[in-house]
Each structure stands twice: as structure tokens, then as C-alpha cells.
């Protein structure tokens, strides 16, 4: 799934990709800038006081869609 597809999927599901003033541009999406990582965007949320990794994604929009689908989204 690519950036535009993720935006379209969010719209189709009635979800909002939460925009933030961060490097990635999305709430709870973090950039893993280690060399050699193909899936460099991490979706992370806080649950019961602990940070939970929801997965790694090729685009920030895909990670933001994952966050939007989570209970925290």
C-alpha cells in the first residue's frame, strides 16, 4: 500500500489520519532512520502506561492508518 492508497483507505473506512508537527507529519508515527531499513516508519501508541509498537511500514501514511485503526486512534 502506498501513501495515496492509505489516504483513500482511511477515507473509505471513515477514519482520520491525525496530522502532527513532527518529522513524519502524523501523530504516533516515528521515523526509524537506521541505514538499510526498508520499512522505516513505526506506528507506536501508549496503552496502560506502556509504549506499544503496532508495526513497521514503508510510508508514513500507512503507519498513520494503522494508528487510526487502533483504539487509541
Give the per-residue pLDDT at 56: 92
Give the per-residue pLDDT at 33: 79
Give the per-residue pLDDT at 37: 67
Q: Looking at per-residue confidence, does 22 or 1 come out higher?
A: 22
Give the per-residue pLDDT at 49: 96
pTM for the whole thing? 0.88
pLDDT one-digit tens code per residue, 10-55: 999 999 999 999 999 999 999 987 767 677 899 999 999 999 999 9
Among residues 55, 23, 57, the alpha carbon closest in space to that of 38 is found at 57
CA distance 51 to 71: 14
Q: Is 57 helix (H, G, I), strand (E, B) or coil?
A: strand
Amino acid at each position: 500500500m502506498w501513501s495515496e492508497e492509505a489516504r483513500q483507505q482511511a477515507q473509505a473506512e471513515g477514519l482520520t489520519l491525525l496530522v502532527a508537527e513532527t518529522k513524519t507529519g502524523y501523530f504516533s508515527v516515528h521515523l526509524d532512520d537506521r541505514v538499510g531499513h526498508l520499512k522505516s516508519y513505526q506506528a507506536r501508541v501508549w496503552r496502560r502506561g506502556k509504549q506499544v509498537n503496532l508495526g513497521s511500514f514503508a510510508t508514513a501514511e500507512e503507519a498513520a492508518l494503522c494508528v487510526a485503526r487502533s483504539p487509541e486512534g
